Amino acid sequence: MTAQSFLGLLGSTRPRGAGKWSARCPAHQDKGPSLSISERTDRLLVHCFAGCTTEEIVGAMGLSMRDLFMDSPLSQRQRPSLAPQNIDLIGVAFRFEMAALDRRLRAERVLNAVQSSHLDELSEQELDQLLNAIARAYHDRERAEFMETVADDFRLKAFQERTERHAA
């Protein structure tokens, strides 16, 4: 079974890095995502932090342990129909803008604070910490600029999709 097929059976999942997801465990009344799913080259690893066994998890999904291996195809009746996800590109762009604003404001606060500091009164360790903070502030500015570019790209893509729908 592929990771996407397995995730499709779980419903709502959250990505947690490359080849890793979290979800609500189907084997117990889960209020938050306690199930960890990891994709390996030949199998899927599942772990419930609430204590459910792997057998209980796959059993609650109507699967068996062998379905966690990549060479185990799903039967036709179990195959989920994965509909394409509609992503709110404007919402994603807004979140990138907010993250960029947060980084810009943080950088400006640090750089403004540095201007009023008396460098000759600082110890060598404090001066080193100050220089590291300044470097992080400049890095935050660069990252904010990148995030704003990404937000612009998402807005442009949303505009293009909208005009394509209206043209059709």
Res 150: pLDDT? 94
Structural domain total, the chain = 2
Q: In what order do the strands lie in the sheet with 13-15?
A: 13-15, 20-23, 35-39, 44-48
Report residues of the chain scoring pLDDT below 70: 71-85
Q: How many C-beta atoms lie closer than 10 Å to residue 14's C-beta?
A: 9
Domain-located, residue 42: yes
d(CA 50, CA 132): 41
pLDDT (tens digit, 9 = 90+) per residue, 99-110?
A: 999 999 999 999
Residues 39 and 106 in one domain: no
If phi over 0 gives left and psi between -120 and 50 gives alpha, with beta otherwise, what is residue 17? left
Say if 82 falls within a structural domain. Answer: no
In this structure, are 62 and 103 located in the same domain?
no
Q: What is the pLDDT of residue 75?
A: 46
Domain assignment present for residue 84? The answer is no
Listed as own residue / partner, the contacts of 109-113 with beta carbons closer than 8 Å and 24 or more positions apart are: 110/134, 110/136, 110/137, 111/137
User: Given this model, what pLDDT does residue 152 score?
Assistant: 95
Residue pair 136/108 in contact by the 8 Å Cβ criterion: no
Same domain, 59 and 107: no
Q: What is the pLDDT of residue 30?
A: 81
Residue 49, domain extent: 3-68
**What are the pLDDT digits (tens) for 69-97?**
876 555 444 545 555 567 788 999 999 99
Determine the pLDDT at residue 2. Answer: 81
Residues 57 and 124 in one domain: no
